Chain A
Amino acid sequence: MSDTNIKTIAIGPYHPLQEEPEFFRLHVDGEIVVKMDVELGYNHRGIEKLSQGMHFDQVPFLVERICGICSTSHPFSYVLAVEDIGGWEIPLRAQYIRTVVAEVERLHSHLLWLGLAGHFLGYNTVWMWAWKAREPLLELFEKLTGNRNHYGMFKVGGVRRDFEDGFCHDLARVLDNLVPVLDMFKGAVSDDPVLRSRMEGVGVLSYDDCRAYGAVGPVARASGLNIDARRDDPIAAYPLVQWRVPVLKAGDIYAKALIRVMEMYESVSIVRQCAHKLLTVRGPVDLRVTDVPPGEGIGHYEAPRGECFHYVMSDGSNRPARHKIRAPSYTNVATDVKAVVGETVSDAALVLAAVDPCYCCTERMIAVDAGTGATRHSGAELVRLCQAKTERLRRGGRA
Chain B
Amino acid sequence: MGITLNALTRSLSVFHLAASPCNNCDIEILDCLTPKYDLERFGIQLIGSIRHADALLVTGSVNRKAAERLKLLYEQAPKPCVVIAIGGCACSGIMFRDNYNFAGPVDRLVPVDIYIPGCPPKPEAMIAGVAKLIAKVRGEKA
Contacts and interface: CB of A to CB of B under 8 A. Distances in A.
Q: Do chains A and B touch in the complex (CB under 8 A)?
A: yes
Interface of A: 13-21, 41-46, 49-50, 53, 61-62, 65-69, 71, 112, 128, 131-132, 135, 147-150, 358-360, 363, 378-380
A128 B35 contact: yes
A148 B16 CA distance: 21
Interface string B48-66: 1110000000001101011
B101 interface: yes
A68 B48 contact: no
Contacts of A378: 48-49
14 contacts: A14-B15, A19-B30, A43-B21, A45-B61, A45-B63, A45-B96, A45-B99, A45-B101, A53-B98, A62-B95, A68-B26, A71-B24, A131-B30, A359-B23
B34 interface: yes
Interface of B: 15-28, 30-31, 34-36, 46-50, 60-61, 63, 65-66, 69, 73, 95-96, 98-102, 119-120, 122
Given A71-B22, A132-B35, 17 more contacts: A16-B48, A21-B66, A42-B19, A42-B66, A42-B69, A44-B101, A62-B95, A65-B24, A67-B22, A68-B22, A128-B34, A131-B34, A135-B36, A147-B119, A149-B120, A150-B120, A380-B49
- Binding site secondary structure of chain A: loop
Nearest to A14: B17
Contacts of B47: 16
A65 B22 contact: yes
Given A44-B101, A45-B63, A45-B99, A363 B23 contact: no
A50 B98 contact: yes
A42 B63 contact: yes
Contacts of A61: 95
Contacts of A379: 48
Nearest to A364: B18
Nearest to B16: A16
Contacts of A16: 15-16, 46-48
A43 B89 CA distance: 12
Given A14-B17, A68-B24, A68-B25, A46 B46 contact: no
